[in-house]
Amino acid sequence: MSQHCNRFLVKSLLDVILFIEFSDQEHLDEDHGVELLEKIAYNFSLMEESFRQEISNIFLDFAEEYSSKESEFIRSLPDSLGLT
């Protein structure tokens, strides 16, 4: 898969993760959100280390494009999701 395609897919996933993290309970049940994030982390754990590192780097690249609150959260994702 091309680097451009990887970046697009990771950006799309990042937007979903941000929606889960920053949605209130009126829009998303907290337990369902946590369950989904755990599934994402599990799927990452099945990937080769080089792929996890690539995703981690892409997350960090995109962090600056978001608000400070979201950017801080994004910078914590590689550790939170077991990418590092």
Is the pTM here over 0.85, yes or no? yes
Mean pLDDT of 50-63: 94
* pLDDT for residue 66: 92
pLDDT above 70: percentage of residues in the chain: 99
* pLDDT for residue 1: 63
Main-chain dihedrals φ then ψ at residue 25, nearest 5 degrees: -65, -20
Rg (CA), the chain: 13
Site of tokens 């400070």: 68
